[in-house]
Every structure is written in C-alpha cells, then in structure tokens.
C-alpha cells in the first residue's frame, strides 16, 4: 500500500476508533506509563549505586572474574621461582576449592561443562597447597581427568606448566624457537602476525622453550595419567596434504632444527627476545596489562639470569600482586586483567544516558581521569602503521604499548556526554583518538581490537596454538562501536565510515543477528551493531534492522529477559540467543530494540519490567553468568560492572530517548 497525504497507509480514510478500542488504547497507555514510572525508579536506584562505587580519583573498576587457572598458575609461578608462601597458598587454595563442582571438575564459566586443562591445573595447585590425592574432592577430580584422557589430552599451555617441574617431557611439546624474533614482518608467522596478547605471550615462551627448565617436582602426578605406563602416547600425523598435517611436519622439522641450531645465533635470539620483553614492560611493571604475558615474561627473564631483586623482575612480581582480589572469607582470586578505562567510559555513558546532568561533578571527574589516560606515544600497532600519529585509550590502568580501538571509541562517546571545564582539551584528545582509529581501519572496512589487518590464517594452525584466538581480525562489535563514535563526531557520511557500515551489513547472520567477538555472543553483537547503524543514519525500517528485531523477539525468554550461554560459540544452532536471562544481555537486546524504534513494543515493555523486577534493593543487579569474552568458548569473563552499567544505559534510553549522534557531540565538539 502507498502512504496517503494524511500519513495513513491505506486507501480508505482513517475511521474513528470504537469505544472498546479507545478503552484498550487507554489501558495500554496507562500500562506503558506505569512501566516508565517503574523504570524511572529503577534508574534512580541504579544511579545512586553507581555513583557510590566511583573511586575518589574518578574511575570505576568492577572485578574481572575468569577461572581458576589464573590462581593455579600464580601458585605454580611462585613454586618455580621459590617464593611461594603459606599465607598466599592458603588463600588461593580456599578460592580454588570453592569453585570446584560436585563432579570434581572445574569449569571455565558459571554453569559450564567441566574443563580438562582447568581441572588439571586446579588439582595441581591444591596438591601444592597440601590437599592429599585420596581426599574425596581430589579423588573425584583425578578420576574425571583420567576418564577424559589424562594430561596427554590437555592443552599445550597446561603441559608447559607441568614440564617446568618434570611432570611432562619437553620433547613432547611443540617447538617454539626464539629465532622467530628475527622474522621480518612480511614473512608468514612473524611475531606481528599474532594478535598482541598472543605476541606478548609467545616471545617469552620462545625463551622458555629454548631453555627447557625443570625444577624438582614436590610430588608425582601419576594419578592424572590415563595410562601411567605410557603417559604420552604417539598420535598419528594428519594427512600431509592438510593444513594440520603440514604444520605438524613443520613442528617436527623445528624439533630437528633444535639439535643443530647454532649456539651463537640461539643466544643472540634469546637476548633479542629479552630486550623486546623489557622494552614492553609497562610503568606499573606489568606487560600489556594482562596476567599471562607477565608470568611468562618473569620466567623467561629469570631463566636468562635476571635475579628476583633486579628492578625489572621486582616490578613485574609487584604488578602481579595487584591482580589479586582478597575476599572477606580470606580467599584470594587473581584477575587475568583489570578494566578501569573500559568500566569508566561505560559508567559515564550509563549515568549520562540515565539523565545525570552533563556537568555533574562526578562525570567531570571521570572525564578528567579518562583524559589523563590518553596514550600519546607509539606502540606495537605502529609496526604496520609507522606514519600514523598516536592517540586513543587502552583497557587497563597501564598499557601504553597496546591502546585498543574499542576503548577509544567508547571513551570518545563518553567524553562527548560530559560538559567539561576545558572543552578544548577534551576536543583535541577526541580528535587524536578519531584520527588514530580511522588510521587503524583494516582493508576490508572493519576494525579489529588492537591491530590492523591482523588476519593471517597461519598462526591458528600451529600445533602450539591450541587455546583461544591468536589473531585479531575485524569484529562486528568493535566495528559497530567505531561507527557509532564516528557518527557522533559528524563523520557518518565519511567514506571510511560508510565502508565500515557496508562491512557490518555484509557480516549479518542469516537469522538477523551479529556475532559477538568480545561479548556473549549474538545478543552482544546485535546490541552493538543496531544502535551504531541507526546512529549512522540507517532508518529503523531498513531490512537489516528489521531482521535483527525479528530475531531478538524470537529469542526473548518467557520471563521478558534475554540470555545467551557461552556454548553458542561452540554450537550456534542450539545456543544462539538461548540461555538464562541476565541483566547485561537483556540490556543489550533493549539497546538494539530501542535504537530500532521499538520503544512502545511489548517486547521492550516486558524487558524493562524484568530489569526493574530483578533489581536489588540497593540498586544493583546480581549476575553470576559470564557475559564477557576473552577467547570465544575458550576463555570467558564475568565483568562485575556489566550488570550495573548496561541496564542503567538501557533504562535511561527507554525513559529519556535515544542519544542522537548530533546531541552526543553538543559539548565541546569542533566541526570536522
């Protein structure tokens, strides 16, 4: 049908509503008004809660919960260095025991299945803490491990930790030569073919692999082998014509090379790796602001002769202590990373969208802190973009080598919501961030998290890389946040933004959703992309947006919320958009529906009601489920602040309306 001049869509003139229809409409309007009142009350409580949790310096940081491998590896590191103490061991063991499930296993996310490598590492840590193998909880764990194939079936990283103590043979691990550091960037499998997190881990591990250290084991681990008489059975090679077969044979060649590697070359390579590692140590002593590269860097430098009192080593060990969260019961949990910049920009957006005045002192303080965190020197990203001036923000307190595109986009969006006392400073910082972000666009039009065109197909094929993603290709969620930021900066029609939009539209799944690389999963991807597309000018009637709305309505839970289990990364057909309702995922779905113009829909009303009904009296939400992603399926994250910031953002937009791109830039933006 064609729209008429009076705005209707039918050929006949509009008729007057009947009395019964009027009653129904009035009732629906009253119901909507009631929901908005409930939402407004929830907003006030959530705002008060979030404001009360801000640090005096202006930042927010929620706990970043992963799994017990962080805690187990921390104890193994201390055992290897000879610095493990009873109080730390007792506290770590208390936390690890508390995470064990009834079947004796440990999982990598709440409600997930038992994970073999995680269970092995947790078991070994408890053995270090003095738990006997015949205690019931230990016997259940070891029996399960044997049923799953034992240590031989564990991932490479777990077997490396065991090899440090002679519980596994170095010969039965993939070879990782330190000469890798010399490969130029145009050669496949050079260190810059790997994502920054993998690169920072692999370089120190080349030293460890070359040195092959073994510390005396304090006990045997025969109970974790499926066959103690043959703990490392020989596995047949894949066909030579397959990628797996080719890389398995490459690994055999590298093992052979080890026996003939020139000593001077190998020593020079390890010393070059050491310089590379030390040059990338952050001001707080850590490496990249994340725990895994830090522990391997400490081990590698120690093997090269750096004693524990050396300033580099001392700073590194002190930084690891700052990853510890001490709980009231005396347990000690290790964070894999800390997320203050990310949490602060998301909290700022949430509070502003919830109606807090743009010049509120706590928003201004948050902006001041974020401005102080701007990165103004080149990092590893400059290897592929040597002429690009620096700018942007990282995820952590200290990570100047690896600013990330996602944080830069969200910080810019947050700063635009604040009426700052120095608008010129704010405007220049955002301008540098925008310039850097545009320079980091990949050839296909999308954006990765840390690097540009980090899409080599080879690193993931290495036998060594059997755990998580080791490359950083463009993702829908990061690209969406960039597009939303560029739209807010008046660049919606810039050719580079349009290329990003075209890439996003091409990436839409057949069911209407988008894959979520850094959040779980299709709900996160969709909740990121739809608001970005609308901010960039796509109407809510666009077919791609209508398909996403239809998908979200299809997967809404009966209780009115949304949830998605991490198993959707492994089995999308069964788990895409499916799982117990959570506050953060319900909020992501709401953000998409509100952006698409569905504010008056029943789906939105039910979701808002669910959020209000599940809010605690103190204004917070409880969320044991893991809705953050480190590596899809392999490494999951429970960001403890997600449950607070995203519901507040969604409720704020429900009550106050969508933050239009033009309005976002109303404080201090110069025209571009």
Give pLDDT tens digits for 386-443.
Answer: 999 999 999 999 888 999 999 999 999 999 999 999 999 999 999 999 999 999 999 9
Inform me whether the pLDDT recorded for 672 exceeds 70: no
**Separation of alpha carbons 486 and 505, rounded Å:** 17
Give 462 or 637, the one with higher predicted confidence: 637
Torsion of the alpha carbons at 596, 601, 605 and 606, rounded to the nearest 10: -100
**Separation of alpha carbons 14 and 5, rounded Å:** 12
Does 67-223+248-334 match 33-62+339-455+474-664 at the fold level? yes
CATH architecture of 33-62+339-455+474-664: Alpha/alpha barrel (1.50)
Q: Tally Cβ neighbours within 10 Å of residue 455.
A: 16
**Separation of alpha carbons 628 and 523, rounded Å:** 12
Provide the pLDDT confidence category of residue 232 given band limits of 50, 70 and 90.
Answer: confident
For the domain made up of 67-223+248-334, give the CATH fold. Answer: Glycosyltransferase (1.50.10)
Provide the pLDDT confidence category of residue 5 given band limits of 50, 70 and 90.
Answer: very low
Would you call 393 exposed, middle or buried from its count of C-beta atoms within 10 A (0-12, 13-18, 19+)? buried
Q: What percent of the chain has pLDDT over 70?
A: 93
Structural domain boundaries in the chain: 33-62+339-455+474-664, 67-223+248-334
Q: Is 628 helix (H, G, I), strand (E, B) or coil?
A: strand
Distance, CA of 435 to chain centre = 24
**Separation of alpha carbons 263 and 580, rounded Å:** 57
Tokens for 367?
């902006």
Inform me whether the pLDDT recorded for 148 exceeds 80: yes
Residues marked as catalytic: 406
Provide the pLDDT confidence category of residue 15 given band limits of 50, 70 and 90.
Answer: very low
pTM of full prediction above 0.75: yes
């Amino acid at each position: 049908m064609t729209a008429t001049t009076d705005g209707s869509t039918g050929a006949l003139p509009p008729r007057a509503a009947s009395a019964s229809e009027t009653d129904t409409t009035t009732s629906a309007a009253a119901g909507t008004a009631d929901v908005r009142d409930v939402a407004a009350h929830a907003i006030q409580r959530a705002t008060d809660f979030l404001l009360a949790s801000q640090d005096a310096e202006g930042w927010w940081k929620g706990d970043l919960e992963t799994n017990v491998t962080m805690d187990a590896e921390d104890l193994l590191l201390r055992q290897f260095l000879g610095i493990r103490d009873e109080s730390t061991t007792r506290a770590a063991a208390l936390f690890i025991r508390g995470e064990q499930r009834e079947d004796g296993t440990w999982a990598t996310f709440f409600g997930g299945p038992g994970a073999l490598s995680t269970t092995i590492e947790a078991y070994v840590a408890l053995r270090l803490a003095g738990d006997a193998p015949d205690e019931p909880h230990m016997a259940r764990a070891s029996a399960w491990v044997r049923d799953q194939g034992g240590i031989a079936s564990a991932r490479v990283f777990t077997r490396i930790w065991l090899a440090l103590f002679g519980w596994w043979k170095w010969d039965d691990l993939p070879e990782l030569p330190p000469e890798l550091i010399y490969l130029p960037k145009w050669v496949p499998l050079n260190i810059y073919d790997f994502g920054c997190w993998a690169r920072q881990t692999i370089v120190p591990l080349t030293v460890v692999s070359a040195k092959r250290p073994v510390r005396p084991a304090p006990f045997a681990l025969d109970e974790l082998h499926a066959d103690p008489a043959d703990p490392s059975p020989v596995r047949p090679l894949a066909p030579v014509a397959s990628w797996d077969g080719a890389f398995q044979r490459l690994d055999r060649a590298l093992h052979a090379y080890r026996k003939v590697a020139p000593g001077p070359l190998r020593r020079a390579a390890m010393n070059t790796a050491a310089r590379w590692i030390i040059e990338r140590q952050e001001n707080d002593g850590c490496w990249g602001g994340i725990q895994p590269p830090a522990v391997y860097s400490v081990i590698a430098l120690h093997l090269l002769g750096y004693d524990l009192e050396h300033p580099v080593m001392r700073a590194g060990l002190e930084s690891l202590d700052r990853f510890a969260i001490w709980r009231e019961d005396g347990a000690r949990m290790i964070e894999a990373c800390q997320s203050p910049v990310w949490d602060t920009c998301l909290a700022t957006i949430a509070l502003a969208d919830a109606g807090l005045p743009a010049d509120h002192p706590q928003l201004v303080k948050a902006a001041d802190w974020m401005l102080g965190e701007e990165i103004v020197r080149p990092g590893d990203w400059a290897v592929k973009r040597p002429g690009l001036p620096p700018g942007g923000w990282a995820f952590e307190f200290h990570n100047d080598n690896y600013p990330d595109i996602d944080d830069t986009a969200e910080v810019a969006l947050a700063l635009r919501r604040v009426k700052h006392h120095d608008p010129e400073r704010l405007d220049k910082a955002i301008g540098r961030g925008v310039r850097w972000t545009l320079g980091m666009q990949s050839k296909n039009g999308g954006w990765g998290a840390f690097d540009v065109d980090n899409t080599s197909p080879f690193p993931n094929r290495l036998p060594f890389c059997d755990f998580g993603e080791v490359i950083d290709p463009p993702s829908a969620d990061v690209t969406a946040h960039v597009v939303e930021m560029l739209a807010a900066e008046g660049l919606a029609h810039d050719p580079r933004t349009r290329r990003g939009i075209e890439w996003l539209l091409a990436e839409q799944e057949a069911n209407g959703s988008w894959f979520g690389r850094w959040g779980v999963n299709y709900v996160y991807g969709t909740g990121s992309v739809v608001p970005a597309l609308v901010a960039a000018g796509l109407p809510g009637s666009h077919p791609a947006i209508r398909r996403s709305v239809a998908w979200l309505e299809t997967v809404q839970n009966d209780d009115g919320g949304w949830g998605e289990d991490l198993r959707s990364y492994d089995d999308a057909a069964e788990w895409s958009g499916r799982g117990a309702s959570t506050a953060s995922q319900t909020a992501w779905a709401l953000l998409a529906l509100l952006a698409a113009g569905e504010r008056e829909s029943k789906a939105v009303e039910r979701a808002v009601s669910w959020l209000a009904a599940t809010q605690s009296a103190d204004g917070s939400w409880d969320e044991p489920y893991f809705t953050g992603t480190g590596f899809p399926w392999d490494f999951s994250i429970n960001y403890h602040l997600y449950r607070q910031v995203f519901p507040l953002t969604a409720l704020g937009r429900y009550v106050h309306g969508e933050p239009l791109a033009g309005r976002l830039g109303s404080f201090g933006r110069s025209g571009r």
